[in-house]
Amino acid sequence: MYDRSTQVNRSVDSINFGIGQPDFDLLPHALIRQVAATRFAEGDTELLNYGFPQGDGRFRWALADFLSQGYGGEVQPQQLMTTAGASQALDLICTFFARPGDTVFVEEPSYFLALRILQEDHRLNAVPIATDEDGLVPAAVEEALTRHRPVFLYTIPAYQNPTGRTLSRGRRQALLALAEAHDFLIVADEVYHLLDFGTPPPPPFAAHADSGRVLSIGSFSKILAPGLRLGWVQTAPERAQRFALSGLADSGGGLNQFTSNLVRVALEGGGQRAYLDGLRRTYRERVEAMDAALRREIGARAAWRVPGGGFFFWLTCAEPVDTSVLLERTAAARVGFLPGRRCSSVGGQSNCLRLCFAHYGVAEIQEGIRRLGQVFES
């Protein structure tokens, strides 16, 4: 299996916590088979044809209902633009709202592939903004605003990739006020928002979609299956319509007609909700297992907080060590992780590392952390 995080092949006896995706056994094979059969049995002519540029109407109604329930506030289908996943949504936003050389604010650290979309694909000037246990620091945004005029701020507010941290309610309000006062957009990558393990995060930025300041990105990659390549942008209806008028969406007949039609059945029939509830239970067990193993095997040699949702633990080593160099030592121990440096727009975070708990069951997590403990020891 190809691993996008570390760009190596997954070998049978190696445990690579750098892989940021669910394992094969966890994926909803039966559900997708069942909704595909239902959808084909309906026998309409639209399924395999071009669709509506903003995304299939019945899908967006079903998604709006699902999100209204999950977010605890009304979501309207007119606010939704269907995309081919969150990555493609971010790319679309860059195409519409930024030009090469423009400045954007990013969290330090942030999701390494989003940084690549911003910095390499769109040649934007990504300015890192400090984060702490409560997420982005508004005072740091204010300070950066004295020197820069960003077109948007890119944030992952709930169970952030890579730190697992969640932006507090007060800070969300503070950032919205700054966006209004300094005329920039907030691009909130909310792909982990619905993936809490018991206590929901503060209301999403999506709740402010109609303000005209917010573009909230969502995806089925983390709550159903990444191979579906299905996501959305939630924003003010006139903005969502503008996306639909793009040559890309219009020429393509919508960005994901086929799988959105299948997923619509899973949303309407409750299969998505039931699957997500199961995922949250499974991930909670894995988080607990990883935390217990880390306490046992790593102890005071690193510091971490137990994430309340999402996919990741973020470890800060007690001794100064470059985790990119440490990673070279892990090959012999047959264990892997994502070094902190990969998650920085400025080559920082070298003392940190990211561990994903979504890809392995409890026994493999225990064994992998045991091996990691040996690497820390040596």
Ligand X SMILES: Cc1ncc(COP(=O)(O)O)c(C=O)c1O
By CB under 6 A, name the binding residues for ligand X: 20, 85-87, 111, 114, 156, 161, 189, 191, 219, 221, 226, 231
Least separation in angstroms between CB 329 and ligand X: 26
Our CB check for ligand X shows the closer of 77 and 109 to be 109
Joined together, the tokens standing for residue 253 give 């007949």
Residue 224 vs 333, nearer CB to ligand X: 224
DSSP string across 164-208 = -----HHHHHHHHHHHHHHT-EEEEE-TTTT-BSSSPPSPPGGGG
153 closest CA partner among 95, 233, 238, 215: 215
Nearest-approach distance from CB 222 to ligand X, in angstroms:
7
Residues facing 316 on adjacent strands: 303, 352
Residue 355 sits at φ, ψ, to 5 deg, of -120, 130
Nearest to 364 by CA among 372, 375, 376: 372
154 with 170: CB under 8 angstroms?
Answer: no
Nearer to ligand X, 311 or 376 (CB): 311
Of 4 and 329, nearer to ligand X (C-beta) is 4
Residues 6 or more apart from 80 whose CB is under 8 A from it?
A: 54, 55, 60, 63, 64, 232, 233, 234, 240
Q: Which token pair is 19?
A: 């892989």
Residue (19 or 209) nearer to ligand X, CB: 19
Min dist. Cβ of residue 300 to ligand X (A): 29
Q: Which residues pair with 254 in a beta bridge?
A: none
Tell me phi and psi for residue 147, to 5 degrees.
-115, -20
CB of 352 to ligand X, least distance (A): 16
Is residue 240 within 8 Å of residue 81, measured between CB atoms?
Answer: yes
Using the minimum distance from each CB to ligand X, give the nearer residue, 184 or 312.
Answer: 312
CB 153 within 8 A of CB 186: yes
Question: Cα(247)–Cα(275) distance, rounded to whole angstroms?
Answer: 35
Give 154's strand partners: 106, 187
Of the pair 219, 345, the CB lying nearest ligand X is at 219
Q: What count of residues does the chain have? A: 378
CA distance linking residue 109 with residue 343, whole number of Å = 5
With respect to ligand X, which residue has the nearer C-beta, 85 or 271? 85
Nearest approach in angstroms of CB 356 to ligand X is 9
Which amino acid is located at 263 in the chain? V
Distance of closest approach, residue 374 Cβ to ligand X, in angstroms: 28
Q: 166 vs 219, which CB is nearer to ligand X?
A: 219
Q: How far is the CB of 262 from ligand X (least distance, A)?
A: 16
Q: How would DSSP label each residue in 285-306?
A: HHHHHHHHHHHHHTGGGEE---
- What distance in Å separates the CA atoms of residue 366 and residue 273, rounded to the nearest whole number? 29
CB of 295 to ligand X, least distance (A): 26
Q: Residue 118 CB, nearest distance to ligand X (Å)?
A: 12
